[in-house]
C-alpha cells in the first residue's frame, strides 16, 4: 500500500495498492490534466531526485520549496512565533534534512492551508511534526487523504495564537483562506503581513495583485467575489503580502495594492470601453 502523489498538482492521496484512477483536483475546471496524461509518484520516489530549498523570505518567515520544481512549484512558509511555529501552506516533499532544519527552528505547532492546490502532503507533515491542521470547512470535499489531525473551521475568521488570524476570503475556492500576521517585522514600522497563497495572488508587477477562479485556465471572478475579498481583509492592518511562490511578495504598501488591484479588476470586467 502506498500514499500516491499526483505529479501534476502534488496532492497526496489516501493509501491504496494501485494509483488512483484519476485526480479530482486536476480534473476540476480550475486545474488541468497534463499533456502526457495522469501520472503518479510517491514520497520515496520524489525524495530520490528532489530536495527542499530553505530560505528566509523575511525575518521569522522561512520559505520551503522543492528543487527541481515539482507540481505547481509553490513554496510553503514557516512562520516562527513565540507561541509556536505555524506552517502556512504546504509542499509534497518532506525529507529528513527538512525535518532536521525545521526542528532546529522549533518544529511546527500547526499547519494552515490557503486552499486545496496546496494541500499536497499535509498529513505527512502533520504526523512528522505532531501538528494540527486548520482547513476551511467549505473545501472539505477536496481533502484526498483524511486524518483526525484536520480541524475544519467555519465562518469568516479563526483567531490562533500570538494574534495570528485565519481569514476566509473565498474567491478562487469557496474556503479560500489568507493569514494575518501582525508581528511581521520586515522594515521599520512594519504594520504586519498577509500570507495569501493564490487567494490574493502577487502578479509579475509587484505593485499589484490579482484574483482568479482559475489561473492556468484563465477564468476570472465576478464583482461580488472581488468585493468580498476586499471586505474580508479590510479590518486588518498590513503592509506586506507573501504570496504562494518564491519572491512573489509585495513588500510595502500592500493594503493599498489590494485596493487598487480590485478597483482595476472591477473596471476591466465592467467596461468594454476601457479595456476592450
Ligand atoms: Zn492532481
Ligand atoms: Zn490555486
Single pTM value for the model: 0.96
Q: What is the pLDDT of residues 111-169, one digit of tens each?
A: 999 999 999 999 999 999 999 999 999 999 999 999 999 999 999 999 999 999 999 99
Omega before residue 68 within 30° of 0, cis: yes
Measured from the alpha carbon of residue 32, the closest ligand is: 1
CA 255, 256, 261, 264: dihedral to nearest 10 degrees? 150
Cα 273 to middle of ligand 2, angstroms:
30
Q: What is the pLDDT of residues 237-273, one digit of tens each?
A: 999 999 999 999 999 999 999 999 999 999 999 865 5
Q: What is the mean pLDDT of the segment spanning 172-183? A: 97
Cα 7 to middle of ligand 2, angstroms:
15
Cα 247 to middle of ligand 2, angstroms:
17
DSSP state of 139: G
Q: What is the pLDDT of residues 2-60, one digit of tens each?
A: 999 999 999 999 999 999 999 999 999 999 998 889 999 999 999 999 999 999 999 99
pLDDT band at 276 (very low <50, low <70, confident <90, very high): very low
Mapping DSSP to helix (H, G, I), strand (E, B) and coil, where does residue 226 land? helix
Cα 79 to middle of ligand 2, angstroms:
21
Q: What is the mean pLDDT of the segment spanning 61-87? A: 98
pLDDT at 66 over 60: yes
Going by DSSP bridges, is the β-strand pair 86-88/75-79 parallel, antiparallel, or unpaired? Answer: antiparallel
Cα 189 to middle of ligand 2, angstroms:
32
pLDDT band at 274 (very low <50, low <70, confident <90, very high): low
Cα 76 to middle of ligand 1, angstroms:
18
Residue 196: closest CA among 105, 103, 70, 77: 77
Measured from the alpha carbon of residue 89, the closest ligand is: 2
Cα 103 to middle of ligand 1, angstroms:
29
Q: What is the mean pLDDT of the segment spanning 95-117? A: 98
Mean per-residue pLDDT over the chain, rounded: 96
DSSP 58-119: ETTEEEEEEES--TT--EEEEE--TT--EEES--S---HHHHHHHHHTT--SEEE-SSGGG-
pLDDT at 224 over 60: yes
Cα 26 to middle of ligand 1, angstroms:
4
Cα 9 to middle of ligand 1, angstroms:
4
Cα 114 to middle of ligand 2, angstroms:
9
Amino acid at each position: 500500500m502506498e500514499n500516491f502523489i499526483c505529479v501534476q498538482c502534488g496532492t497526496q492521496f489516501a493509501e491504496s495498492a494501485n494509483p488512483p484512477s484519476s485526480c479530482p483536483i486536476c480534473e476540476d475546471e480550475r486545474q488541468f490534466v497534463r499533456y502526457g496524461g495522469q501520472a503518479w509518484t510517491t514520497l520515496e520516489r520524489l525524495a530520490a531526485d528532489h530536495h527542499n530549498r530553505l530560505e528566509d523570505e523575511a525575518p521569522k518567515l522561512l520559505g520551503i520549496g522543492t528543487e527541481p520544481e515539482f507540481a505547481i512549484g509553490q513554496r510553503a512558509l514557516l512562520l516562527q512565533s513565540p507561541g509556536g511555529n505555524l506552517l502556512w501552506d504546504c509542499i509534497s516533499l518532506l525529507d529528513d534534512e527538512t525535518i532536521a532544519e525545521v526542528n532546529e527552528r522549533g518544529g511546527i505547532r500547526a499547519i494552515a492551508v490557503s486552499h486545496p492546490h496546496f494541500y499536497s502532503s499535509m498529513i505527512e507533515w502533520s504526523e512528522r511534526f505532531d501538528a494540527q491542521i486548520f482547513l476551511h470547512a467549505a473545501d472539505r470535499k477536496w481533502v484526498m487523504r483524511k486524518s483526525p489531525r484536520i480541524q475544519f473551521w467555519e465562518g469568516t475568521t479563526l483567531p490562533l495564537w500570538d494574534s495570528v488570524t485565519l481569514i476566509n476570503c473565498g474567491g478562487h475556492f469557496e474556503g479560500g483562506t489568507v493569514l494575518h500576521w501582525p508581528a511581521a517585522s520586515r522594515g521599520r514600522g512594519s504594520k504586519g503581513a498577509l500570507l495569501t497563497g493564490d487567494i490574493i495572488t502577487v502578479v509579475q508587477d509587484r505593485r499589484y495583485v490579482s484574483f482568479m477562479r482559475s489561473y492556468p485556465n484563465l477564468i476570472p471572478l465576478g464583482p461580488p467575489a472581488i468585493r468580498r475579498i476586499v471586505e474580508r481583509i479590510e479590518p486588518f492592518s498590513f503592509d506586506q503580502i507573501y504570496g504562494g511562490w518564491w519572491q512573489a511578495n509585495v513588500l510595502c504598501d500592500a493594503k493599498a495594492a489590494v485596493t487598487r488591484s480590485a478597483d482595476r479588476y472591477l473596471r476591466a470586467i465592467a467596461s468594454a470601453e476601457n479595456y476592450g
